[in-house]
């Protein structure tokens, strides 16, 4: 049945992706939820939470706030926090609750900016899309809010967040983004990195250093890679003859014959059964879906998929 | 900007009164900081019991979480525990479901597919809990009707019950952890009473074997049932035969009232306290109320000795106390201060009901400070100014990394004299190790 998960747990959602991009930038991130979504992010999807404190808060919505659409109360809560918490911007992160009550993010943004004189990034995630979509939306809001012209930054890597690369993530600062200039070398390290690089309208390379390091250890044969698309492309660029299957975004510029975007557990099982692969490179949480596969499995942890670092 | 965590002394709070508690100390008044205590409530994961883990307290049950993907995300922590393998399933909602509510029509088919999948693997469940979240709370979904449709579709006796993970209702009359207890015990059907059976309801892990059980057995009780000690669904159903219920957690009060009305099982509440005299008084009142004779003087003496021993060894001990522990932090603070110890800081969310402790603390320890785990300024909390020797509660370890900590948050619940004795002995042992 479409949408029914019997083996895998849900993947990292868009709201986690949005927070992942903004976490280290010195802003105040307000997740517009009752508490559970923030709990999932700070307690699970954001490995930096326990090491580096960041102003990530829940809006603490209650049923009557949502039913009555108490935007003014939310603005007041945020303004009150801005008086006590040092923040260079406020980011509003959407969840299923504002999606259900059709929150007007533009209006909220204007009201908060008027009240606090702090720039506001409104990111209308809804918890039903996947993390790479949320990351891309966060980059878009960031680039629209802060000027990215005339900087002298030498290089920047986009999309190398913990959700794709676990502990191998690479943080940027707000100044890094503000200093992107014509000569800045841009690397897209994941699907969201490609989206971000496109928004900048500048040439970019597609490359995952973690995949490149793994390329030499993959035996020859027919290989299936199930990970982020940039991970798969980098392996291919390094000489691994592989098909890429992605639960997340698969851009046309990466897609080749044999590559496939999937959404359901059964689709992965069918691919493995019918594909005749000798090697699978994927997070081992997918193994129960590949019963009968007798080839070699190379574990490639993918946090957004399994929660493994 | 001060960049400082907001705190009030108990003296200041007492002067303001229970109707004027500062907003920073209350739940639901501002933005919420994800302290360890907040996360323990909002994202319990493998420790403690949130709605998801609690919903599976019934033996031989499984759960279908019907929600946007984000709501089930952290369940992978619980799913990895052996006792929860093959017990969580997900039906993911998308934006169209949100607008049209079409997901509700798919639930019976999804439940049937899950039951069939488990049946093929020799694990057919007796109960399917359907967990729904904030979205369906706002949509006003009638889950009783959906569950009835599922039972009709299965037509094999498998029970299907709703389980509400509504974070939006945390401060409401029926918050999620109250509601889930009502749901679990709603599975019980009326049956013949057994005068020698008693239930202890309140938590999802058992009460530690202690004087309460001994008191009941001495009075002729043969069966003491707790949901967590029922090995099978059939055993769980026998909870309906109890002569009376003992409620050890106020969050189970609504479920006890339901059982009283529906099954004719009366209930009596016992509170976990850390003051030896108050505990003795509570047991005497309990024995009188249920008409039994109770002699727990040996356990009372042990508790007094444990307190005395700690006092002799460390007469000037100062504590910081969190709220991720098997105790009410304000009650525990008051008891420790009454024993002659010091309490410098408490990290806990205040409510008017806690004023019975606050007003007494204000008299004997007016400078004890209260921080709210949920307040955004806790981002700036700095422990360096606290003279505490030891912290209690798992969350307190986060705020006080430089001093020894006793988490005191096991699933198995300490209670009564035995709980007091165990805690005092644990503090004594820890301090002796640290100062050896």
First to last CA, chain A: 30
Pairwise CB contact (< 8 Å): A10 & B75: yes
Chain B CB contacts of A16 under 8 Å are 70, 73
Pairwise CB contact (< 8 Å): A99 & B95: yes
Q: What is the pLDDT of residue B46?
A: 53
Q: What is the largest CA-CA distance in chain B?
A: 68
Segment A126-144 shows an average pLDDT of: 97
| In a shared domain, residues B142 and B220 | no
Of B34, B139, B172, the CB nearest to A39: B34
Q: Is B413 helix (H, G, I), strand (E, B) or coil?
A: strand
| In a shared domain, residues B259 and B321 | no
How much of chain B exceeds pLDDT 70, in percent?
Answer: 99
Pairwise CB contact (< 8 Å): A128 & B95: yes
From the list A243, A273, A239, the residue with the least C-alpha distance to A260 is: A243
* Residue B284 maps to a domain: no
- Asked if residue B236 lies in contact with residue B61, where contact means CB atoms within 8 angstroms, the answer is no
From the list B431, B26, B73, B360, the residue with the least C-alpha distance to A303 is: B73
Q: What letter would DSSP give residue A130?
A: B
| Chain A stretch 61-120, residues whose beta carbon is closer than 8 A to a beta carbon of chain B | 61-63, 66-67, 77-78, 80-81, 83-86, 95-97, 99-101
Q: What letter would DSSP give residue B339?
A: T
ipTM: 0.94
Of B66-70, B137-141, B310-314, least confident by mean pLDDT is B137-141
Chain Cα centroid distance, residue A106: 23
Segment B320-342 shows an average pLDDT of: 97
Pairwise CB contact (< 8 Å): A128 & B32: no
| In a shared domain, residues B361 and B333 | yes
- Asked if residue A29 lies in contact with residue B33, where contact means CB atoms within 8 angstroms, the answer is no
Q: What is the pLDDT of residue B11?
A: 98
Chain B CB contacts of A93 under 8 Å are none
Six-digit token string for A189: 């390290």
Residue that is last in its domain, among B172, B188, B215: B172
Six-digit token string for B243: 């002569």
| In a shared domain, residues B56 and B108 | yes
Pairwise CB contact (< 8 Å): B169 & A130: no
* Residue B280 maps to a domain: no
* Residue B39 maps to a domain: no
- What rounded mean pLDDT belongs to chain A? 95
**Cα-based distances in Å from B368 to A134, A180, B7:** 44, 51, 10
Segment A66-92 shows an average pLDDT of: 95
* Residue B281 maps to a domain: no
| In a shared domain, residues B325 and B365 | yes
Q: HEC states along A53-105?
A: CCEEEECCCCHHHHHHCCHHHHHHHHHHHHHHCCCCCEEEECCHHHHHHCCCH
Residue that is last in its domain, among B139, B172, B205: B172
| In a shared domain, residues B135 and B202 | no
- Asked if residue B319 lies in contact with residue B344, where contact means CB atoms within 8 angstroms, the answer is yes
What is the distance between the alpha carbons of residues B80 and B82, in angstroms, rounded to a whole number?
6
- Asked if residue B46 lies in contact with residue B114, where contact means CB atoms within 8 angstroms, the answer is no
Six-digit token string for A38: 């923030």
What is the distance between the alpha carbons of residues A21 and A160, in angstroms, rounded to a whole number?
9
* Residue B101 maps to a domain: yes
Chain A CB contacts of B38 under 8 Å are 35, 39, 58
Specify the number of domains making up chain B.
3
pLDDT 10s digits, B75-130: 888 888 888 989 999 999 999 999 999 999 999 999 999 999 999 999 999 999 99
Q: What is the pLDDT of residue A239?
A: 96
Chain A CB contacts of B41 under 8 Å are 35, 39
Chain B CB contacts of A14 under 8 Å are 70
Torsions phi, psi for A71 (to 5 deg):
-65, -35
Torsions phi, psi for A70 (to 5 deg):
-80, 70
Q: At residue B173, does pLDDT exceed 90?
A: no
pLDDT 10s digits, A136-185: 999 999 999 987 677 899 999 999 999 999 999 999 999 999 999 989 99
Q: At residue A264, does pLDDT exceed 90?
A: yes
What is the distance between the alpha carbons of residues B406 and B426, in angstroms, rounded to a whole number?
8
Strands A185-188, A155-158: pairing kind:
parallel
Range of the domain at B157: 47-172
Chain Cα centroid distance, residue A99: 19
Chain B CB contacts of A80 under 8 Å are 30-31
Q: What is the pLDDT of residue B27?
A: 83
Q: Token pair 């030498």 is at which residue?
A: A154
Domains of chain A: 14-145 (3.40.50.1980), 155-209 (no CATH), 217-306 (3.40.50.1980)
Q: At residue B403, does pLDDT exceed 80?
A: yes
Query: Which CATH number does the domain housing residue B123 bear?
Result: 3.40.50.1980
- Asked if residue B73 lies in contact with residue A44, where contact means CB atoms within 8 angstroms, the answer is yes
| In a shared domain, residues B82 and B20 | no
* Residue B255 maps to a domain: yes
- CB within 8 A of B76, min separation 6: which ones? A9, A306, A307
- What rounded mean pLDDT belongs to chain B? 94
Torsions phi, psi for B194 (to 5 deg):
-115, 110
Chain B: give the shortest CA distance to residue A162, in Å: 15
* Residue B83 maps to a domain: yes
First to last CA, chain B: 43
What is the distance between the alpha carbons of residues A33 and A19, in angstroms, rounded to a whole number?
14
| In a shared domain, residues B304 and B378 | yes
- Asked if residue B243 lies in contact with residue B216, where contact means CB atoms within 8 angstroms, the answer is no
| Chain A stretch 12-41, residues whose beta carbon is closer than 8 A to a beta carbon of chain B | 12-16, 30, 33-40
What is the distance between the alpha carbons of residues B252 and B241, in angstroms, rounded to a whole number?
18
Of A201-210, B30-39, B84-93, least confident by mean pLDDT is B30-39
Between vectors from CA A7 to CA A6 and to CA A8, what angle results, nearest 5°?
A: 110
* Residue B376 maps to a domain: yes
- CA quadruple B117, B123, B124, B129: dihedral, nearest 10: -90
Chain A CB contacts of B166 under 8 Å are 34, 63
Residue that is last in its domain, among B156, B172, B188: B172
pLDDT 10s digits, A268-288: 999 999 999 999 999 999 999
Q: What is the pLDDT of residue B43?
A: 66
| In a shared domain, residues B264 and B391 | no
Q: What is the pLDDT of residue B309?
A: 98
- Asked if residue B416 lies in contact with residue B210, where contact means CB atoms within 8 angstroms, the answer is yes
What is the distance between the alpha carbons of residues A303 and B197, in angstroms, rounded to a whole number?
49
Of A62, A83, A307, the CB nearest to B76: A307
pLDDT 10s digits, B366-390: 999 999 999 999 999 987 779 999 9
Q: At residue B44, does pLDDT exceed 90?
A: no
| In a shared domain, residues B406 and B370 | yes
| In a shared domain, residues B306 and B411 | yes
| In a shared domain, residues B68 and B157 | yes
Q: At residue A28, does pLDDT exceed 90?
A: yes
Q: What letter would DSSP give residue A44?
A: I
């Amino acid at each position: 049945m479409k949408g029914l998960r019997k083996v895998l747990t849900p993947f990292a959602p868009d709201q986690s992706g949005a927070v992942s991009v903004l976490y280290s930038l010195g802003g105040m991130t307000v997740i517009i939820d009752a508490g559970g979504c923030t709990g999932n992010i700070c307690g699970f999807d954001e490995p930096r939470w326990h090491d580096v404190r960041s102003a990530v808060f829940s809006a603490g919505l209650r049923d009557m706030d949502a039913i009555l659409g108490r935007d003014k109360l939310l603005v007041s809560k945020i303004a009150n926090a801005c008086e006590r918490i040092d923040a260079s911007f406020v980011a509003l992160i959407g969840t299923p609750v504002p999606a259900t009550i059709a929150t007007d993010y533009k209006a909220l943004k204007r009201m908060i900016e008027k009240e606090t004189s702090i720039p506001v990034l409104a990111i209308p995630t809804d918890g039903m899309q996947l993390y790479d979509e949320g990351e891309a939306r966060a980059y878009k809001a960031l680039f629209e809010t802060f000027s990215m012209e005339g900087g002298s930054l030498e290089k920047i890597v986009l999309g190398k967040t913990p959700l794709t690369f676990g502990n191998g993530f690479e943080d940027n600062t707000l100044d890094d983004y503000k200093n992107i200039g014509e000569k800045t070398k841009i690397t897209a390290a994941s699907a969201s990195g490609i989206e971000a690089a496109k928004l900048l309208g500048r040439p970019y390379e597609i490359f995952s250093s973690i995949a490149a390091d793994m390329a030499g250890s993959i035996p020859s044969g027919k290989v299936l890679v199930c990970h982020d698309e940039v991970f798969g492309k980098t392996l291919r660029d390094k000489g691994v003859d592989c098909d890429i299957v992605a639960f997340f975004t698969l851009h046309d510029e990466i897609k080749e014959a044999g590559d496939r975007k999937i959404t359901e557990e059964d689709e992965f099982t069918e691919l493995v059964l019918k594909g005749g692969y000798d090697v699978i490179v994927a997070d081992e949480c997918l193994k129960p879906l590949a019963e009968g596969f007798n080839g070699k499995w190379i574990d490639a942890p993918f946090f957004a998929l399994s929660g493994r670092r | 900007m001060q960049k400082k965590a907001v705190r009030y002394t108990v003296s200041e709070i007492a002067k303001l009164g229970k109707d004027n508690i500062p907003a920073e100390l209350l739940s639901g008044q501002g933005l919420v900081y994800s302290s360890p205590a907040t996360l323990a409530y909002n994202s319990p994961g493998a420790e403690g019991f949130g709605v998801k883990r609690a919903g599976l307290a019934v033996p031989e049950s499984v759960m279908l979480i019907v929600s946007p993907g984000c709501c089930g995300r952290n369940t992978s922590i619980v799913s990895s525990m052996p006792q929860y393998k093959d017990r969580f399933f997900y039906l993911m909602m998308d934006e169209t479901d949100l607008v049209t509510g079409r997901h509700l029509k798919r639930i019976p088919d999804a439940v049937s597919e899950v039951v069939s999948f488990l049946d093929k693997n020799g694990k057919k469940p007796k109960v399917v809990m359907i967990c729904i979240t904030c979205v369906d709370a706002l949509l006003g979904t009638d889950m009783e009707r959906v569950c009835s449709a599922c039972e009709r579709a299965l037509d094999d006796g498998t029970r299907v019950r709703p389980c509400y993970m509504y974070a939006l209702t945390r401060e409401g009359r029926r918050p999620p952890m109250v509601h889930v207890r009502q749901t679990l015990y709603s599975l019980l059907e009326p049956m013949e009473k057994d005068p020698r059976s008693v239930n202890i309801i309140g938590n999802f892990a058992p009460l530690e074997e202690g004087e309460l059980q001994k008191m009941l057995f001495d009075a002729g009780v043969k069966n003491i049932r707790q949901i967590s000690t029922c090995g099978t669904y059939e055993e769980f159903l026998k909870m309906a035969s109890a002569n009376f219920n003992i409620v050890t957690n106020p969050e189970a009060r609504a479920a006890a009232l339901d059982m009283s009305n529906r099954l004719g099982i009366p209930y009596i509440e016992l509170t976990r306290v850390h003051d030896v005299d108050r505990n003795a008084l509570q047991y005497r009142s309990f024995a009188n109320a249920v008409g039994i004779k109770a002699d727990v003087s040996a356990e009372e003496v042990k508790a007094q000795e444990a307190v005395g021993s700690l006092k002799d060894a460390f007469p000037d001990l100062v504590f910081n106390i969190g709220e991720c522990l098997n105790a009410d932090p304000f009650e525990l603070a008051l008891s420790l201060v009454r024993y002659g110890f010091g309490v410098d800081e408490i990290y806990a969310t205040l409510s008017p009901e806690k004023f019975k402790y606050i007003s007494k603390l204000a008299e004997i320890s007016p400078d004890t400070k209260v921080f709210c785990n949920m307040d955004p300024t806790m981002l700036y909390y700095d422990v360096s100014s606290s003279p505490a020797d030891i912290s209690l509660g798992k969350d307190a370890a986060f705020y006080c990394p430089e001093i020894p900590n006793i988490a005191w948050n096991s699933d198995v619940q300490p209670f009564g004299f035995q709980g007091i004795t165990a805690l005092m002995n644990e503090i004594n042992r820890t301090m002796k190790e640290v100062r050896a």
